[in-house]
Structure 1
Amino acid sequence: MKKRTGLKYALYILSLWLLFISLFIMSYDKNLFISISTYFSNKDIATLLSKITPKNIVFISSFIMIIAGFLIFLYLLFSFNSGWSVTCTVSDVKNESHEHLEFLTTYVMPLVFTDVNSKRTMLNLLIMIVAIGMIYVKTNRFYSNPSLALLGFRIFRAKINDRGIKDFVIICHGEIDNKSIIKYIKLDDNTCLAKIIK
């Protein structure tokens, strides 16, 4: 089965939604809008670029990533209309939703209070976000997603009984237990997105 690496990175961007919102608020600078307004008056791109600060770059980048996160969520919402498995039962269900909180406290919160006023800290922030993303995908922790938790998704570890029994990390909207019947779509060999039938 082809691994959905692109989807994993998309989920990583979505997982940082709260961070980008925080950086967006912290890096707001009304002078940026004054500079943009001046540019539209005199069309002098050199003057505009000279007034762009590291804080402005973080503000613009955060805004772009917030929009990207919203689009990723819409993609997830509408892209899984087909491709579901047949109905299956689950067993040995364990709630792993604490993974959301661990990712938030370990990776996101330390970056929230980053000083965005200098080029050095902006570069450090970029390096950390890229490095954490690579670790996040390589170690298959992409399901530890606080943004999905806010939207009501939970993480479970369970055995799925579908032409054999296999352990999966299951992401689903709502609660499952040993009596649940689900359909699922594999995200990789050990992780799946499930919807609860009953």
Structure 2
Amino acid sequence: MKDDWLIKVMLYVLSLWLLFVSLLIMSYDATLLTNVAEAVKQRDLNALCDDFNVKNLVFVVSALFILVGGLILWLLANSYRGGWSITCRVSDISDENHEHLEFLATYVMPLVFTDVESKRTVLNLALMIVAIGAIYVKTNKFYSNPSLAILGFKIFKATIHDRGEKQFVVICRGQLTDKSVIRYIRIDNNTCLAKLDK
């Protein structure tokens, strides 16, 4: 997974999980669910298409991305079961957890209260999500992930002593100190996922 843009895109989609949950709530329409049930019962999709609107599209896409986010979380959890480094010491640790809040406040919160009934606004929302994603991946800020923060992960900058010294952005569950011993897996040249070695 080293230097792989795919994992960065996956982490970006995961970072928008809260936005998609919010959009799902904002676009909820009981009529859509009734129409889906009727279309399934009568085996007639035309009836469903007649009443389908922009708000329903936002609901369906949000539900789909919430499921995709869950799948990404499962894939990431399983892909990191092996391949950990030998135990290493860390030093020069600085807390970077403000990155989660900055991403949430700067990119996610302004999109939360989008008018989901206007075609123009929804098109603008989609454009902003794609543009923010491109910036997110190109600037290697994929670790600024509110969803990971909710799951208990913290962000640190630290020097890892492993056959030399190199400074990394470290994503870790738990608190790193100058006495911590970790195992890690590189996500890219400057970022790694670490676990405290007990």
Which TM-score tier does this pair reach, normalised by the shorter chain? Answer: over 0.9
CA contact (8 A) 2:155 2:169 kept: yes
Match of 1:139 in 2: 139
Match of 1:114 in 2: 114
SS at match of 1:39: helix
CA contact (8 A) 2:2 2:189 kept: no
TM-score (norm 2): 0.96
CA contact (8 A) 2:168 2:190 kept: yes
Match of 1:105 in 2: 105
In 2: Cα distance, 1:119 partner to 1:143 partner: 32
In 1: Cα distance, 2:76 partner to 2:162 partner: 24
Match of 1:127 in 2: 127
In 1: Cα distance, 2:41 partner to 2:194 partner: 53
Match of 1:78 in 2: 78
C-alpha deviations, 1:88-119, integer Å up to 9, x for none?
A: 11110000011000000000000000000021
SS at match of 2:123: helix
Change (3 A) 1:176 1:2: closer
% of aligned pairs identical? 59
In 2: Cα distance, 1:156 partner to 1:7 partner: 19
Runs of 4 or more, structure 1, over 3 Å off, are 41-44
Query: Offset at 1:44?
Result: 3.2
Alignment of 1:1-198 (within 5 A): 2-198=2-198
TM-score (norm 1): 0.96
In 2: Cα distance, 1:41 partner to 1:65 partner: 26
C-alpha deviations, 1:37-65, integer Å up to 9, x for none?
A: 33234433333212111110110111111
CA contact (8 A) 2:2 2:186 kept: no
In 2: Cα distance, 1:17 partner to 1:30 partner: 22
SS at match of 2:141: coil
SS at match of 2:14: helix
Q: How many residues align?
A: 198
CA RMSD of aligned residues (A): 1.3
Letter of the aligned partner of 1:158 in structure 2? A
SS at match of 1:163: coil
Letter of the aligned partner of 2:135 in structure 1? I
In 1: Cα distance, 2:4 partner to 2:175 partner: 25
In 1: Cα distance, 2:151 partner to 2:138 partner: 25
- Provide structure 2 residue ranges, at least 5 long, that are not aligned to the other structure: none
In 2: Cα distance, 1:78 partner to 1:98 partner: 27
- Provide structure 1 residue ranges, at least 5 long, that are not aligned to the other structure: none
In 2: Cα distance, 1:128 partner to 1:186 partner: 29
